[in-house]
Structure 1
């Protein structure tokens, strides 16, 4: 059974339940050099900003200092304002409003704060022409916020990784939009095809795909392995059927993000989401969501968005 937008009218299906414990097992991925060369042909991966290099350098220390992390973030007025806007979003689920970067770092933790910063910096690095990417980034932020909220409802839910994944998972799309003038036509075409993922359409039209490209960008920006893996497979429903392909935590991130995009597209914006039709049943099984939990989530998120 694939769960689609028909549940907007009611939730009458009987679903399997039972939350899976998140496993922090990571498996190295080997992409053949020829695939990397083809994926990156004529495409430049943006380099990491110096502030991010410094943040990772501090985190790599045996005893990293949260004051240094906060000071590095606060050194950029625009970045610090964006961080506070992000963590104070209703979707992020904090119990109180943060008024300073120091408070945010203290409450979220250094690594979580750095993941948020990474997503914000990548947006700046792949900004595109003024206004041309605003809709893309606005959707990415909303999906990331919804994913973070969903993660809060799951035992040991990876809230911070889910937020970072939501921001990053389609970063390849942002790059391909700037590379190929007709790429928006590719997106429109892929949305109408239910039985094939967007990555297959991209391969046919552009000899590359945004999932592999996003994976390479995430690796280049030193994102956690579990996020990199999730990006690589986030349009591949079969990954849920073969548990040897990637880690349980990566599967959970893929499932959370698929559900977040489903809510964002079909309930908040009333538009079709073909990816959910392909992997919705597997995503719900991975998360172990019962019918009533799904409906509660939908109601909560609709109120937040309203």
Structure 2
């Protein structure tokens, strides 16, 4: 099987709103007119309502109720608005997936995104918005696999659950490629920035390349911290296991290990977008 065999099943691909695609394509465009984007967001009622609900939540602690996307942009800034729109757009891109509980899948992706953003703010090599976006979509290849080949996806899940194989080996044995490869192919199909697809494809093993990409390293670290949170790992063990070689390649200072307790406190405020 080839990755393209999944992409040919166009009726089964996630349906990402146009405004979200535009935002991601404009991530690195300093000349982008974000007033136009805010106007487009306003016209997508589903996304607008979800974003405004989060903006008006206790998390932001605003002194008055915000009733429009324009107001939200002024108060929060376009960068925060973009992250909310991208998170909302992807979490609504599919309604049901065989073998995946979507609320858990997206909650996990949201946390990886926030962790990636937190890490990126501590290095000059990666933009925080780009890190957030790649966190949201880092597992999109697995979603694609379950949408297009649910039987094979279930076989892989069983092998991993029964500890017969790690996920990468199971995917290569049954598919001939990994879900990270599938994720990159989907990013390329959607014409998203090349760096996003590369980071998705290489984040599990960032040193497989001669020159590890900082964004892939940031995503690797975010996934590590997310696993620590999910497994309620003791803080000392989190620090001991923190992959410093990856952190160095991401451009992070050595003292980052003493800030990890802040990262482990990242909450789940974005989960409001799932309701």
User: With structure 1 as the length reference, what TM-score do the two structures score?
Assistant: 0.65
Aligned with residue 142 of structure 1, among 87, 90, 111: 111
Q: 1:264 aligns with which of 222, 226, 233?
A: 226
| Residues 217, 246 of structure 2: 8 Å contact kept | yes
Structure 1: how far apart are the matches of 2:55 and 2:94? 22
User: Is the aligned partner of 1:37 residue 2:4?
Assistant: yes
- Unpaired runs of 5+ residues, structure 2, are 234-239, 269-275
**Contact 1:70/1:101 (CA < 8 Å) preserved in 2?**
yes
> 2:114, 2:132 within 8 Å by CA — same for their partners in 1?
yes
CA distance in 1, matches of 2:162, 2:259: 29
Structure with more contact order per residue of length (Cα contacts < 8 Å, sep ≥ 6): 1
The answer to whether structure 1 residue 101 and structure 2 residue 69 are counterparts is yes
- Distance across 2 between alignment mates of 1:62 and 1:155: 17
Give 1:203 shift: 1.9
CA distance in 2, matches of 1:40, 1:51: 21
Question: How large is the RMSD of aligned CA atoms in angstroms?
Answer: 4.3
Match of 1:123 among 73, 88, 91: 91
Query: By how many angstroms is 1:129 displaced?
Result: 4.8
Count the aligned residue pairs: 255
Q: Work out which of the residue numbers 243, 247, 263 in structure 2 matches 1:280.
A: 243
Matched, 1:227 2:196: yes
Cα distance, 1:68–1:237 mapped onto 2, change above 3 Å: closer
Please state how far the C-alpha of 1:61 moved relative to its aligned partner: 10
Q: 1:236 to 1:188 in 2, by over 3 A?
A: farther
1:174 to 1:152, Cα distance in 2 relative to 1, 3 A: same
Does the aligned pair in 1 maintain the 2:120–2:218 contact within 8 Å? yes
SS in 1 for 2:221: helix
Give the equivalent residue in structure 1 for 2:150: 180
Answering whether residue 259 of structure 2 is matched by residue 296 of structure 1, we say yes
CA spacing shift, 1:63–1:286, aligned 2, 3 Å: closer
TM-score w.r.t. structure 2 length?
0.71
* Contact 1:199/1:235, CA 8 A, preserved across alignment: no
Q: 1:88/1:252 Cα in 2 relative to 1: closer, same or farther (>3 Å)?
A: farther
Aligned partners of 2:166 and 2:244: how far apart in 1? Answer: 16
d(CA) in 2 for partners of 1:158, 1:211: 21
SS at match of 1:300: helix
- The 1-side partners of 2:56 and 2:227 are apart by 23
Provide the rounded CA distance (Å) in 1 between the counterparts of 2:244 and 2:30. 43
Q: Is the Cα contact below 8 Å between 1:58 and 1:69 reproduced in 2? A: no
C-alpha displacement at 1:296, in angstroms?
Answer: 1.4
User: Where does residue 80 of structure 1 map in the other structure?
Assistant: 48
What secondary structure sits across from 2:195 in the alignment? helix
